[in-house]
Structure 1
Amino acid sequence: MSNHPVQMFEYHTWASQTILGRIKELPSSVLSQEVNSSFPTIAHALSHIYAVDKMWYLVLTGTGMPEAFQACIPLNESILPSIDDYSNIYAELSDQFREWFRSNPNLEQTTLLDNPFAGARQTRLSEIVLQLVNHGTYHRGNVSTMLRQLGHASTMNDYSLFWYQEPTK
């Protein structure tokens, strides 16, 4: 039996790398071209996804959510110069998550999540992982729309396509 939250995280990693790969195929200016969308540029969207992923990683590894949120504000505002830089930080963080998954087999245990915007609640670790995946999916959709607005096709990164990919080692 597979560990569904971990499988969903692997989908998240694959989908992020898939869209980053598509952006690598385009002129480097695409990353910083202004567009009238949810984010001013694709780089801003990618920085946001990364910052939120990092925040949830910090929460999962024991940092309180208010502190994790504050720690990741600079990441949200940090625009990297190249798509390769985004690919690298995404890959490094995915490796950190994988290591955490290996050392935390019980994702159904709960933790007190003190959300500075919504209050405190007991939350399963698996729910946090699924929130991270859902957030990434939402914003990859923004990136796909931004690419189309800039005159470029996006790429498929649906979960159902992930089912047919070779497992990562």
Structure 2
Amino acid sequence: MKNYPAEMLNYHFWASQTILGRMKELPAAVLHQEVNTSFPTIAHALNHIYAVDKTWYMVLTGADMGAALQECMPLSGRILETVDEYVSLFAELAGQYNEWLGSGPDAEQAITLNNPYAGIRETTLAEIMLHTANHGSYHRGNISTMLRQLGYASTMNDYALYWYRQPVSAAL
């Protein structure tokens, strides 16, 4: 049986690289152009996605959420200069996730999540994995809107397109 939470994470990594690939086709200044939306620039949105991805990676690999947030949320304000830097940053983190996924974690493993903003709850690794992918999809949508506001087309990065981008053997 396919591990759908892991599949959604792989989609998330693919989709992030896809939107970054589109960003590389545009003038470099687009990354830092200000827009009137939920993030002041696309760079800020990318920083947020990365910081949250890193936070959840730390939680999935055993860190307390409070400690993970303390380490990762300052990353939300770390604005990188180029799209290539974001490509590398996201690829490195995807590699860490893939190494963890390769170790065969039990997606149904229950953990106690102590979220300093929302409280304590029981959850599973699968729920966190699905949330991470969903969070990235939401904010890639923000980036697509920001690109349109700046006068540029975005790129398709839907899950259905991901299906068709995978090798045939992986889809069986």
Count residues with an aligned counterpart. 168
Inter-partner Cα distance in structure 2 for 1:107 and 1:166: 22
Say yes or no: does 1:91 pair with 2:91. Answer: yes
Aligned to 1:23: 23
Name structure 2 gaps, 5 residues minimum.
none
1:104: Cα distance to partner?
Answer: 3.3
- 1:61 maps to which residue? 61
2:17 counterpart of 1:9: no
Please say if 1:160 is aligned against 2:168: no
Partners in 1 of 2:85 and 2:117 — Cα distance?
31
Give the deviation of 1:105 after TM superposition: 3.1
Residue 122 of structure 1 deviates from its aligned partner by: 1.1
User: Per-residue deviation at 1:166?
Assistant: 2.4
Structure 1 runs (4+) greater than 6 angstroms displaced: none
User: Could you state the TM-score of these two structures normalised by the residue count of structure 2?
Assistant: 0.95
The one-letter code sitting in structure 2 at the alignment partner of 1:119 is G
Letter in 2 for 1:143: I
| Amino acid corresponding to residue 86 of structure 1 in structure 2 | Y
Please tell me the root mean square deviation across aligned C-alpha atoms, in Å.
Answer: 1.1
Q: With structure 1 as the length reference, what TM-score do the two structures score?
A: 0.97
User: In 2, distance between residues paired with 1:142 and 1:85?
Assistant: 20
Alignment of 1:120 with 2:124, yes or no, is no
Counterpart residue identity of residue 54, structure 1: K
Secondary structure class of the residue paired with 2:121:
strand
The gaps in structure 1 that reach 5 residues or longer are: none
Q: Percent identity?
A: 62
